[in-house]
């Protein structure tokens, strides 16, 4: 598969360089300056991938990469792409896990890493205006002296960009309480597929009419290119408490999760790690997780000091009731950091157990966590494939980690097979394909598991309204073969069926 992608991208490139590349490259160079355009075959090599797993997403070279520095340059590049009938693929840091910024059908990659200014911070209104290339964690660091932070905290936050967070509607451990990216974006400046610059949303909390900002966040770069984001800043809580609770079984821990949420408690984060994860993490980082525990929970609560204490006592009680053998609380920053270190480095530790790992992102209803985890265990045995579980238990967002060697063909077959079973199971019990990583090319063929033809047609209708020519990040989100002409055809067919014009 990967081989095919490479051959194909070479062919496209050769075609480009012989026939249209030179005029294309020179018009791009006129638009953004020669130093901001890459068109050489070797330069393009490093833009053929993103952070996603080799077995799940094909690599593919674009025809050109531009790194614009102003919104006008972005708009001009989009117009050039239109003239040349080439697709556009927006890209941030390229840490995505669903292939969203890989140029599946060639075209122009617009990398926004050179638009990385924090333009304005307004503490009175708790907002900041930033360019898309700003790194997530650096925005939080920047507003830290003012007592604020940017709440969405994906694990890649030290590298990923705000623009990428908007495209994928990114989450993170603290989204349980604070919500995902869409809850923190007030407005966006975008370049539409026609090359026009538009503002959607704004400083006002409630906008009349359709929530276009809401449509745009999580649209995976398929509706336009974000060139500025007006983001919400969140005040830092007065006190933070982190509790470690160890359980003999995954079931016990899952029950505690349901009970905590059921009791009306809203922790800032509620994370679970199973025994395989503990075995990998504890010897490496000495976070203090009991090696013989079936599962551990990390529960973070924050807010006013007295409330935090009361809530922590209640959580402790629930954990012991559901079979916890140990509950430990960390208050100081150093203690908290140590407990979190194990969780944050968990995937790192996995990387040391196997050359590759495939991180899934399905979501299941919280009450179905125990049965889902035993199903994961069974899939692991059936396919003879180690699977570790480390995940956002509070919102049922699983991250089963399949450990394998990507150079080994048999391993890849196992991963593909086990992934299919896992996803199908999660969907069958009322779950979702992705909590925070997006669909991209990685999971697009699973979309039909969740959505009917009519659902997809409705989504296609939105795509059609923003991008009638299908130039923005094609071959993402919709199932293979469901694009361009087909999107339109399905959309028309669904409309026709609805109004009884003709039967499908």
Partner 1 sequence: MSVPTSADLKDVGGIVGFTDIDAPEPELLKACVHCGMCLSSCPTYRITGQEMSSPRGRLWLMSAVSQGRLSIDDPLFQEQMYQCLNCRACEAVCPSGVQYGPLVEAARYQIEQRLDRPAKQRIARKVMLDWTFSDMRKMGAVAKMTSLYQTTGLQKVARKSGVLKLLGLSDMEKMAPATRGKSLKPGTEAWTAAEPVRAASLFNGCIMGTAFGDTNRAACRVMARNGANVDIPECQGCCGALQVHSGMFDTARDMARANIDAFEAEPDRPIVVTAAGCGSTLKEYGHLLKDDPDYADRAHDFAGRVKDFSEYVAAENRSTPGPVRRKITYQDACHLAHAQRITAQPRTLLKSIPDLEFVEMRESSLCCGSAGIYNILRPEMARKLGERKVNHIIETGATEVITANPGCAIQIATLLREAGSDIKVTHIADFMDEAYANGEPGAGI
Q: Which positions lie near partner 1, rule CB under 8 A?
A: 2-3, 5-7, 10, 38, 40, 42-43, 45-47, 49-51, 53-54, 59, 67, 93-95, 111, 113-114, 116, 133, 135, 137-138, 156, 158-160, 345, 347-348, 351-352, 355-357, 406-407
Instruction: Please say which residue, 31 or 245, places its beta carbon nearer to partner 1.
Output: 31
Instruction: Please say which residue, 100 or 187, places its beta carbon nearer to partner 1.
Output: 100
Are 362 and 435 in contact by the 8 Å Cβ rule? The answer is: yes
The crossing angle, in degrees rounded to 10, of helices 453-466 and 485-498 is: 120
d(C-alpha 495, C-alpha 381), whole Å: 46
CB 221, min distance to partner 1, A: 17
CB 321, min distance to partner 1, A: 36
d(C-alpha 261, C-alpha 394), whole Å: 7
Question: Which helix (H) or strand (E) is 153 found in, with range?
Answer: none
User: Could you write out the three-class secondary structure of 243-274?
Assistant: EEEEECCHHHHHHHHHHHHHCCCCCCEEEEEE
Instruction: Please say which residue, 338 or 345, places its beta carbon nearer to partner 1.
Output: 345
CA pseudo-torsion sign 439, 445, 450, 454:
positive
For tokens 């490139």, the residue is: 13
CB 240, min distance to partner 1, A: 21
Quick one: the chain helix, strand, coil %, rounded to 5? 45, 20, 35
Alpha-carbon separation of residue 112 from 26, 84, 398 (angstroms):
20, 21, 30
Instruction: Please say which residue, 52 or 182, places its beta carbon nearer to partner 1.
Output: 52
CB 6, min distance to partner 1, A: 4
Alpha-carbon separation of residue 27 from 63, 191, 445 (angstroms):
13, 19, 36
Instruction: Please say which residue, 188 or 412, places its beta carbon nearer to partner 1.
Output: 412
Instruction: Please say which residue, 6 or 451, places its beta carbon nearer to partner 1.
Output: 6
CB 406, min distance to partner 1, A: 7
Q: Is 473 left (phi over 0), alpha (psi -120 to 50) or beta?
A: left
Instruction: Please say which residue, 279 or 325, places its beta carbon nearer to partner 1.
Output: 279
CB 350, min distance to partner 1, A: 9
CB 56, min distance to partner 1, A: 12
Q: Which are the contacts of 264, defined by CB distance < 8 A and separation ≥ 6? A: none
Instruction: Please say which residue, 156 or 419, places its beta carbon nearer to partner 1.
Output: 156
d(C-alpha 134, C-alpha 268), whole Å: 25
């Amino acid at each position: 598969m990967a081989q095919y992608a490479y051959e194909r991208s070479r062919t496209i490139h050769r075609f480009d360089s012989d026939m249209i590349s030179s005029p294309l490259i020179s018009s791009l160079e006129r638009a953004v300056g020669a130093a901001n355009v890459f068109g050489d075959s070797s330069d393009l090599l490093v833009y053929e991938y993103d952070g996603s797993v080799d077995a799940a997403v094909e690599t593919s070279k674009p025809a050109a990469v531009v790194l614009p520095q102003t919104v006008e340059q972005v708009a001009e590049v989009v117009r050039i792409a239109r003239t040349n009938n080439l697709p556009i693929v927006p890209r941030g840091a390229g840490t995505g896990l669903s292939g969203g910024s890989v140029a599946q059908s060639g075209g122009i990659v617009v990398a926004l890493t050179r638009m990385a200014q924090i333009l304005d911070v307004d503490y009175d209104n708790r907002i900041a205006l930033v360019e898309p290339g700003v790194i997530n964690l650096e925005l939080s660091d920047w507003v830290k002296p003012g007592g604020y932070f940017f709440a969405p905290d994906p694990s890649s936050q030290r590298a990923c960009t705000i623009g990428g967070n908007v495209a994928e509607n990114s989450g993170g451990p603290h989204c349980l309480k604070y919500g995902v990216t869409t809850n923190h974006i007030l407005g966006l400046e975008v370049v539409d597929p026609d090359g026009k610059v538009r503002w959607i949303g704004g400083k006002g909390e409630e906008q009349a009419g359709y929530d276009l900002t809401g449509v745009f966040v999580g649209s995976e770069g398929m509706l336009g290119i974000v060139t500025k984001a007006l983001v919400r800043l969140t005040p830092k809580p007065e006190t933070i408490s982190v509790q470690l609770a160890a359980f003999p079984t995954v079931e016990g821990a899952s029950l505690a999760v349901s009970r905590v949420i059921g009791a009306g408690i809203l922790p800032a984060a509620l994370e679970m790690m199973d025994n395989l994860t503990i075995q990998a993490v504890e010897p490496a980082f000495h976070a203090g997780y009991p090696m013989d525990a079936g599962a551990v929970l990390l529960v973070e609560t924050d807010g006013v000091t007295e409330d935090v204490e009361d809530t922590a006592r209640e959580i402790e009680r629930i954990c012991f009731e559901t079979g916890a053998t140990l509950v430990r609380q960390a208050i100081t920053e150093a203690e908290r950091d140590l407990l979190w270190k194990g969780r944050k480095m968990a995937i790192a530790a996995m990387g040391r157990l196997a050359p590759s790992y495939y991180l899934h992102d399905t979501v299941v209803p919280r009450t179905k966590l125990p049965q889902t985890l035993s199903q994961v265990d069974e899939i692991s045995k059936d396919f003879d494939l180690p699977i570790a579980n480390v995940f956002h238990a509070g919102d049922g967002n699983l991250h089963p980690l399949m450990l394998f060697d990507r150079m080994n063909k048999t391993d890849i077959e196992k991963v593909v097979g086990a992934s299919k079973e896992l996803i199908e199971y999660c969907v069958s019990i009322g779950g979702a394909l992705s909590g925070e990583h997006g669909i991209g090319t990685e999971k697009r063929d699973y979309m039909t598991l969740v959505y009917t033809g009519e659902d997809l047609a409705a989504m296609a209708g939105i795509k059609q309204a923003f991008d009638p020519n299908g130039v923005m990040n094609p071959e993402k989100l919709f199932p293979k073969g469901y694009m361009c002409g087909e999107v339109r055809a399905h959309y028309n067919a669904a409309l026709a069926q609805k109004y009884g014009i003709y039967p499908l």
